[in-house]
Amino acid sequence: MLMKRKLKKEIYGIVVLFFIGLVTVATAAGSKGLSQWVDPMIGVRGHGSCMPGPCLPHASVYPSPDTLKPKTNGFVYQDDVVGFSQLHTQGTGGTPTYGNFLVSPRLGPGFTQADNASPLSDMKSACHSLRTKLTRWNTACTLVPAEHSALYRFEFPANEDARLVFNVARKIGVATAMTEGELNVDPESGVISGGGTFDKNWNPAPYELYFYAKVDVLPQSTGIWQGDTVKDGAVKGVINERAPLGGWLSFDTRSKSVVHLKIAVSFRSVEKAKEWLEKEIPAWDLEGLQAEAERQWDEALASVKVSGLSDEDMTLFYTHLFHSLVQPRDRTGDAFGWPDDAPCWDDHYTLWDTWKTLFPLLSIIKPEVVAGNVNCFVERLKRNGEVSVAYIQGKEYRVGQGGDEVDNVIADAYAKKIKGVDWNAAWTVLEANANRRTKEYRELGWVPHKSKHDYCWRMKSGSGTIGFAYNDWCASQVAAGLGRKEDAEKLLKRSRNWRNVWDKTLEDSGFTGFIRARNADGSFQDTAAREGYNTDFYEGTCWQYSYVLPHDVPGMIEMMGGEKRFIERLQFSLENDLIEFGNEPSFMTIWLFDHVDRPYLASFWADKLKGLFTHEGPPGDDDSGAMGSLYVFLNAGFFPFSGQDLYYLHGPRGPEFNFRVADGRTFSVTADNAGGNNIYIQSVKLNGKPLDKPVIHHSDIVAGGTLSFVMGNRPSAWGCAGEFDEAVALKQTMKSKHRE
């Protein structure tokens, strides 16, 4: 009996310990930070042009694997991997940028990318680390990032000649992007370093780039390839013209299979790269470095805390928020030729993509980043004599996609009273840009079709004219606020130039009047309304760009025949797929419904747009977080008109979103009945006070407080200014649903 009691007691103790263990595991799982929801493979498997590798928020480096047949991001899903390079651009298209300093683990001799290529298996991708296996080499690889550096762990099989191959001259898509430079190996210390001058990026300007790396196991042998020459045992290579350059370290892994590598990159010098490495990764503690990277992402992602979403939606939300916090990159202290304290924010690829959604999101959750970028614009004007919409590898690049979107970012920050900016200094950038708009625009009042100018082929008559017009309006608002009355009046008058490319005679499907290209003699091109892509406009058509007039929506509505006709026309364009949501020109279009008191239509189409974001990726290239930040606003229930302090409401897609704003305050967006088919606003209160219009201001957000919605599954009269007709509303939404 005593033994039975003792046995029962022991069993009871085991059971208690078992449940305590379960509770401990559950508590540990529940205590994980928000980084657990990030899936970097979203935008890699499908649309997005994103990378599977990890990085830190706004950090200089973004290490990630590259594949044998790369796209712009260096990676193609399920293609063979050739190694790991240290720099990439986030979600961009066109000519690839970076992919410098490729490190390739392998067994035995071989140094070309084809030689090193291997399938991947067991890939576990997180925002703070990457783990995978190169199956051809039976080598497990782990990668953890820091600000300017990264730490790798390579677990080789037992082999007498395991190698780390450093391809110094290549970049993504180009075998020899180095025009002059060198490589140095010190077998006695395990250090390999080098760099030089590169080109062949999307920004064609040459740039300086250097690296400093070290291994924790001394190599048994080394080698260099230089041009067509391969030298076993060599420790130095130099090229003075475009040619291959690289080297390798060889290890006997039969007794010690793990080799750690830490590598830093600098735009200044090898010495600066060494300084970054010693500062950021002083030890070989990969787990500790990962914990710090995870902590940084948990902190950054906590700028928006969400509750009540499904696991699937949490993953989508925080992955897109992660993508919104990658670029631009803070390269303060590492800009070539700049002092350490001069603010330098790099890799704007380009502001044409990011001014509408990314910078407005950052103005809420990271206003210091916005201030840093505006201050960098000022610094660039002083040093470079210009501030272009593209700034990559520390070099200006005029691409003329739409206008001078720098102005829109500055005006947006000014309207939202971002702290830490000398606005009189910022005005000098606006003034310089206003005075360098094309001569024809300044004299004729429009950008003529196929005119000669220094904004490159991307500048088109239609998109260029309306882009400049909005730039002028933005600059006029800052000028007025700074008491520059004459400048403000001149620029405000010039902002009406969009009317000069409005062709009142162009007709399509019963709707008349569209933006299209205009010739220098005043005649319009004969472009059809559904055409104009890269002829009259940069990446858009007459239908799409005719809605891109955020500074004069009343004028646009008047041109389109008044509010009733405008609603019909906008609804028609959306129902007939005349608006393209895979690209930035149409980002603001849906919320024009709020201007004409039809928030239920904004809600309906915002929900359709949200549905284009899947676990494969967004509906187009992420474009430096442009798509990611758009997704955040789609879920949170309000949307910015950048350059202004307004946000238009469509209603949240979850019960609660808490934005961390300045001075420790929180702006909470709550929604009763949110989710599923409950996409329509029934009522809204701001800090307990009922709203009757679908608009709030930036000051409402940064003051903290609560924006509370009640949502429902049917259109309501809320926000319709007393003009709601339920039968019409149901017909409008049901017609669109039926079409799908």
**Per-residue pLDDT band at 60 (split at 50, 70, 90):** very high
Q: Are residues 101 and 23 in the same domain?
A: no
- Give me the helices (H) in 1-119, please: 2-30, 113-116
- pLDDT tens-digit map of 479-532: 999 999 999 999 999 999 999 999 999 999 999 999 999 999 999 999 999 999
Distance between CA atoms of 649 and 259, rounded to whole angstroms?
54
Would residue 385 be called left, alpha or beta, if left means φ above 0 and alpha means ψ between -120 and 50 degrees? left
Helix axes 367-384 and 405-415, enclosed angle (nearest 10): 140
**Per-residue pLDDT band at 17 (split at 50, 70, 90):** very low
Q: Are residues 130 and 260 in the same domain?
A: yes
Q: What is the pLDDT of residue 457?
A: 85
Which of helix, strand or coil describes residue 680? strand
Structure token digits, residue 26: 């559950």
Q: Are residues 155 and 21 in the same domain?
A: no
Cβ neighbours of residue 596 under 8 Å, at least 6 residues apart?
557, 563, 566, 567
Asked if the model's pLDDT at residue 735 lies above 80, the reply is no
Q: Are residues 610 and 563 in the same domain?
A: yes
Q: Is residue 407 part of a domain?
A: no
Answer for the pair 305, 177: CB distance below 8 angstroms, yes or no.
no
Mean pLDDT of the chain: 94
Distance between CA atoms of 104 and 136, rounded to whole angstroms?
12
Q: What is the pLDDT of residue 736?
A: 66
Domain boundary, last residue among 237, 266, 299: 299
**Per-residue pLDDT band at 734 (split at 50, 70, 90):** confident
Structure token digits, residue 450: 């196929």
Domain boundary, last residue among 244, 272, 299: 299
Q: Are residues 154 and 272 in the same domain?
A: yes
Q: What is the pLDDT of residue 737?
A: 62
Q: Is residue 677 part of a domain?
A: yes
pTM: 0.94
Answer for the pair 414, 698: CB distance below 8 angstroms, yes or no.
no
Q: Work out the percent of the chain whose per-residue pLDDT is above 90.
A: 92
Distance between CA atoms of 281 and 354, rounded to whole angstroms?
32
Reference 176, options 126, 241, 132; nearest CA is 241
Cβ neighbours of residue 701 under 8 Å, at least 6 residues apart?
364, 647, 659, 661, 667
- Give me the helices (H) in 416-460, please: 423-436, 439-444
Q: Is residue 426 part of a domain?
A: no
Helix axes 461-481 and 485-494, enclosed angle (nearest 10): 160
- pLDDT tens-digit map of 653-710: 999 999 999 999 999 999 999 999 999 999 999 999 999 999 999 999 999 999 999 9
What are the two backbone dihedrals, phi and then psi, of residue 451, each rounded to the nearest 5 degrees? -75, 155
For residues 347-353, average pLDDT: 96
**Per-residue pLDDT band at 456 (split at 50, 70, 90):** confident
Which of helix, strand or coil describes residue 417? coil
Q: What is the pLDDT of residue 291?
A: 98
**Domain of 617: which CATH number?**
3.30.2080.10
User: Is the previous residue joined to 350 through a cis bond, with omega within 30 degrees of 0?
Assistant: yes
Q: How many residues does the chain have?
A: 740
Q: Are residues 17 and 90 in the same domain?
A: no
Asked if the model's pLDDT at residue 13 lies above 80, the reply is no
Q: Is residue 496 part of a domain?
A: no
What are the two backbone dihedrals, phi and then psi, of residue 293, each rounded to the nearest 5 degrees? -65, -40
Tell me how many degrees the CA angle 147-152-158 measures, rounded to the nearest 5: 175
Type of residue numbered 555: G
- pLDDT tens-digit map of 274-323: 999 999 999 999 999 999 999 999 999 999 999 999 999 999 999 999 99
Helices and strands, number each (H, E), in the chain = 21, 31
Asked if the model's pLDDT at residue 20 lies above 70, the reply is no
Q: Are residues 10 and 124 in the same domain?
A: no
**Per-residue pLDDT band at 10 (split at 50, 70, 90):** very low
Reference 289, options 299, 274, 279; nearest CA is 279
Type of residue numbered 684: V
Q: Are residues 17 and 62 in the same domain?
A: no
Domain boundary, last residue among 252, 284, 299: 299
Answer for the pair 581, 573: CB distance below 8 angstroms, yes or no.
no
Q: Are residues 16 and 62 in the same domain?
A: no
**Domain of 247: which CATH number?**
2.70.98.10
Q: Is residue 270 part of a domain?
A: yes
Q: Is residue 236 part of a domain?
A: yes
For residues 183-197, average pLDDT: 98
Query: Structural domain tally of the chain?
Result: 3
Pairing of strands 502-508, 511-515: antiparallel
User: Is the previous residue joined to 328 through a cis bond, with omega within 30 degrees of 0?
Assistant: yes
Q: Is residue 422 part of a domain?
A: no
Q: Are residues 173 and 241 in the same domain?
A: yes
Q: Are residues 7 and 145 in the same domain?
A: no
DSSP-derived letter for residue 279 is: H
Q: What is the pLDDT of residue 676?
A: 95
Asked if the model's pLDDT at residue 5 lies above 50, the reply is no
For residues 650-654, average pLDDT: 98
Distance between CA atoms of 253 and 645, rounded to whole angstroms?
61
Q: Are residues 6 and 48 in the same domain?
A: no
Distance between CA atoms of 53 and 41, rounded to whole angstroms?
9
Distance between CA atoms of 566 and 592, rounded to whole angstroms?
10
Answer for the pair 466, 548: CB distance below 8 angstroms, yes or no.
yes
574-591 residues labelled b (16+ CB within 10 A) or e (exposed): beeebbbbebbbbbbbbb
For residues 64-80, average pLDDT: 96
Domain limits at 24?
2-31
Type of residue numbered 517: A
For residues 228-245, average pLDDT: 96
Q: Is residue 206 part of a domain?
A: yes
Sign of CA dihedral 458, 71, 352, 455: negative
Q: What is the pLDDT of residue 725?
A: 86
